[in-house]
Chains A and B, each alone.
Chain A
Amino acid sequence: MEALGLVNYWAFIFLMMVGFYILISQGNLIKKLVGLNLFQTSVFILYISMGKVRGGTAPILTEGDPVYSNPLPHVLILTAIVVGVATLALGLSLVVRIHETYSTVEEDEIHNLDRAEVEGEVGSLDVSRVDARA
């Protein structure tokens, strides 16, 4: 029964682990970002759950003396959501730039291209770009 009452926290841990696993296991940069976002979002559930009071309402002053949920964690999470959106946007724009210069978003292919560049040490960026396309 106690385990059921903590269902939100189980969801938090499950989502966090899923996101973290995707982040580590995937070589595709976009999928990595998906994992990262899931990982960050899971924390929102943790915060929102802890602010909830059973039977509590939204913290708006009304007649009588109702029980309020704690609004502070919810407000904190608004900030964290903004941070998450900014991180995702920056991450995706980096992926766009990476795709423009490497023509791939697969991590191991990028490593191979970099290694080829180092081995063929031409020193010049422009030449290596030609190499990459070939």
Chain B
Amino acid sequence: MTAHLPVLQVVIPLLAATLCAVARRGRIAWGIALATSWTAFWIAIQLLARVQAEGPISYALGGWAAPVGIEYRIDLVSAFVLVIVTAIGAVVTPYALKSVEREIDTTQIPLFYAAFLLCLTGLLGIAVTGDVFNVFVFLEISSLSAYSLIALGQDRRALTAAFQYLIMGSIGATFIVIGIGMMYVMTGTLNMADLSVLLAELGPNRTIAVAFGFLTVGISLKLALFPLHLWLPNAYTYAPSAVTAFIASTATKVAVYMLLRFFFTVFGVVFSFNVMRLNIVLLVLALLAIFSMSLVAIFQTNVKRMLAYSSVAQIGYMILGISLASVTGLTAGILHLFNHAMIKGSLFMAMGCVMYRVGSVEIEAMRGLGKKMPWTMAAFVAGGFSLIGLPFTVGFISKWYLILGAVERDAWPVAGLVLITSLMAVVYIWRVVEAAYFQEAPGDGASGVGAIEGSREPIVEAPLALLIPTWALIVANFYFGTDATFTVELAESAARTLFGLVP
């Protein structure tokens, strides 16, 4: 049983998704999804414990040994990503019950959970597989289900957002396939471990350089690296609240994992950073992303859109860490992968609570909410602190290591920019705080808020079914912000593994 955990991690959500699709009632589908996401979380923890104790796990799918068969390979980095994705899944599923019942048609709810589990399958699959073509297949499973999840949003603009994402996502995926094809032409293998050996033997080569280019652009599209982020703000803004919380904290993270996997494991540090000079490209784009997107976020009137732009900036932080091309920098990047999942997950879930009661996430609609929904807004403020990076929150830990990495490289301007952009986060979080706590609530319906049915009733605190998952993430924000030894050690040994040093 335990020997098959790597494949069960993927197969259980896949099978459960089909069960959800045939379930007639939303609550039954939800029950299946809940059981599945918690099982997946349990498996991920088991895998992480095993990797920490015994080193990387290799699993030959169907008994066909690599490089002929597909290999599932789990090392520290992938186990860490598995835990992040399944943890968010396990927190979002209980939250989804009420939120989805309010925002999605009853008849579509079983299909919603089917798509949700398929998305989870794809994301987990990318993390466990050791075969580059398999990565593409799982990538498309997660992306296609993500497009349909986003299209379920109430606003009709959700449809155009999903279409835009579909176009850009498919271009990205096709670029990745072209890159993989070129690597296959040169080496005749699709296994990652095999590829890294053969590519190193091959030495510098124009085809491989082109493959590298295609993969860089393709993966950057998927992880919404500035300036390829155009699909992201609309998709996050108009998707149903539970979907935004899930996708914002997992999909781009897994894409960052793909970047690490391809550039560190497959191409190798020397080729990626010394020959192709990827670190310079990434550094420039990351700095542009952090600065320009934080600036854009300040001027948004829709809080979900504001958080979406902030997400692009935060992805910039992760890429910045990677582009420093040092163990400390990479540690910061991987650490922020985990930390940002918790930060944005909790913030988007708090916005989901507001959506549930108020029916709008415009800043104008937040006026006076501090009194009417104290727990929800307190969660938002606490999450905001973490986003800014105040001490005792996970945001602080990420930024600490990021600045440490920058200083280690004598990149003082970079460290300065990280601090300045943190102040910009203060500005946009403050705009919400000001509306919620220092402005009077609007007269009934005067501002036109309350678009959805049922919001004519007085606005009260969100139900516990939404608040408990939100606060669970907030508590995690502070717990891992106060005692970061577990995450930091994990991220550091993961970074060492990627650099090929002894963990």
Q: Which of B160, B171, B178, B181 lies in contact with A36, CB distance below 8 A?
A: B171
The one of B170, B174, B185, B451 in contact with A124, judged by C-beta atoms closer than 8 angstroms, is B451
The reply to whether A94 and B448 contact each other, CB–CB distance below 8 Å, is no
Do the beta carbons of A90 and B167 come within 8 Å of each other?
A: no
Nearest Cβ distance between residue A5 and chain B, in whole angstroms?
15
Q: Does B485 contact A (CB under 8 A)?
A: no
Whether A95 lies near B163 (C-beta < 8 A) is yes
A115 to chain B, nearest CB (A): 11
Q: A39 contacts B181, CB within 8 Å?
A: no
Query: Is the beta-carbon distance between B447 and A87 smaller than 8 angstroms?
Result: no
- B: contact size bracket: 20 to 34
Closest to A47 in B: B181
> Is B195 in contact with chain A by the CB < 8 A criterion?
no
Per-residue contact bits, chain B 131-143, to A (CB 8 Å; 1 contact, 0 not)? 0010011001000
Known: A23-B171, A43-B174, A43-B181. A125 touches B155 (CB 8 A): yes
B451 touches A46 (CB 8 A): no
Q: How far is the CB of B293 from chain A (nearest CB, A)?
A: 21
Taking CB as reference atom, which chain B residue is nearest A40? Answer: B174
B4 / chain A contacts, CB cutoff of 8 Å:
none
**Is A102 touching B156 in the complex (CB atoms < 8 A)?**
yes
Bound Cα distance from A125 to B185, whole angstroms: 52
For residues 36 through 66 of chain A, which have their beta carbon under 8 Å from a beta carbon of chain B?
36, 39-40, 43, 46-47, 50
Residues of B within 8 A of A40 (CB): 170, 174
**Shortest CB distance A104–B (Å):** 11
In the complex, A91 Cα to B168 Cα: how many Å?
12
Residue B166 at the chain A interface, CB threshold 8 Å: yes
Contact of B451 among A39, A47, A114, A123 (CB under 8 A): A123
What are the residues of chain A within 8 A of B437 when measuring CB–CB? none
- Is B147 engaged at the interface, CB distance under 8 Å to the other chain? yes
Query: For residue A43, which residues in chain B have a CB less than 8 angstroms away from its CB?
Result: 174, 177-178, 181
Give the chain A neighbours of B250 by CB distance below 8 A: none
Q: Does B157 contact A (CB under 8 A)?
A: yes
> Considering only CB atoms, which chain B residue lies closest to A110 in the complex?
B160
Q: Which of B165-216 contact A (CB under 8 A)?
A: 166-167, 170-171, 173-174, 177-178, 181, 184-185
Q: Is residue B325 within 8 Å, beta carbon to beta carbon, of the partner chain?
A: no
Q: Provide the bound-state CA to CA distance between A114 and B133, in Å.
A: 39
Least Cβ distance of A6 to chain B in Å? Answer: 12
Once bound together, how far apart are the Cα atoms of A64 and B162, in whole Å? Answer: 54
Contact call A94/B163, Cβ cutoff below 8 A: yes
Q: Point out the residues of chain A lying under 8 angstroms from B448, CB to CB.
A: 121-124
**Neighbour of A80 across the interface among B167, B171, B177, CB < 8 A:** B177
With A46-B178, A87-B140, A90-B147 known as contacts, the answer to whether A125 contacts B163 (CB < 8 A) is no
| Bound-complex Cα distance A43 to B177 (A) | 8
Pairwise interchain contact B166-A94, C-beta atoms closer than 8 A:
yes
Chain B's nearest CB lies how many Å from the CB of A37? 9
- B279, CB-defined interface residue at 8 Å: no
Q: Is B77 engaged at the interface, CB distance under 8 Å to the other chain?
A: no
Tell whether A86 is near chain B: CB-to-CB under 8 Å: yes
Bound-state Cα–Cα, A90 to B151, Å: 10
Binary per-residue interface labels of chain B (104-147) against chain A in the complex, 1 for a CB within 8 Å, 0 otherwise: 00000000000000000000000000000100110010001001
B449 lies within 8 A of A123 (CB): yes
B186 to chain A, nearest CB (A): 10
* Interface set, chain A 55-89, CB cutoff 8 A to B: 73, 76, 79-80, 83, 86-87
Please tell me if B154 contacts chain A, counting CB pairs below 8 Å.
yes
- In the complex, which residues of chain B have a beta carbon less than 8 angstroms from the beta carbon of A121? 448
A101 CB–B CB distance under 8 Å: yes
Asked if A23 meets B167 with Cβ closer than 8 Å, knowing A46-B178, A79-B137, A123-B451, the reply is yes
Contacts of A122 in B (CB 8 A): 448
Residues of B within 8 A of A90 (CB): 144, 147-148, 166
Asked if B156 contacts A101 (CB within 8 A), the reply is yes
Chain B 446-461, CB-CB to A under 8 Å as 1, else 0, gives 0111110000000000
Looking across the interface, which residue of chain B has its beta carbon closest to that of A20? B171
Determine which of A29, A87, A125 lies in contact with B170 in the assembled complex, contact meaning CB atoms within 8 Å: A87
Q: Would B144 and A123 count as touching, CB distance under 8 A?
A: no
Q: Is the CB of B170 within 8 A of A36?
A: yes
The reply to whether the CB of A98 lies closer than 8 angstroms to some CB of chain B is yes
Please report which residues of chain B, range 324-357, place their CB below 8 angstroms from some CB of chain A when the two chains form the complex.
none
In the complex, what residues of B have CB within 8 A of residue A91's CB? Answer: 163, 166-167
B residues in contact with A76, CB < 8 Å: 133
A97 touches B174 (CB 8 A): no
B360 close to A (CB within 8 Å): yes
User: Does any Cβ of A come within 8 Å of B159's Cβ?
Assistant: yes
CB distance from B240 to the nearest CB of A (A): 14
Which one of A39, A97, A114 contacts B171 once the chains associate, using CB atoms below 8 Å?
Answer: A39
Bound: A110/B161 CA distance, A = 12
- A23-B171, A80-B177, A101-B156 known; 4 new pairs, CB 8 Å cut-off, are A39-B174, A50-B184, A94-B163, A98-B159
Residues of chain A whose beta carbon lies under 8 Å from any beta carbon of chain B: 20, 23, 29, 32, 36, 39-40, 43, 46-47, 50, 73, 76, 79-80, 83, 86-87, 90-91, 94-95, 97-98, 101-102, 110, 114, 121-125, 129
Q: List 23 A-B contacts (CB under 8 A).
A: A29-B163, A36-B167, A39-B171, A43-B181, A46-B178, A50-B184, A73-B184, A83-B137, A83-B173, A86-B140, A87-B170, A90-B144, A90-B148, A90-B166, A91-B166, A91-B167, A94-B162, A94-B166, A97-B159, A102-B156, A114-B160, A123-B360, A123-B451
Complex A-B, nearest 7 residue pairs according to Cβ-Cβ distance, in ascending order: A123-B448, A101-B156, A83-B140, A124-B451, A94-B163, A98-B159, A50-B185
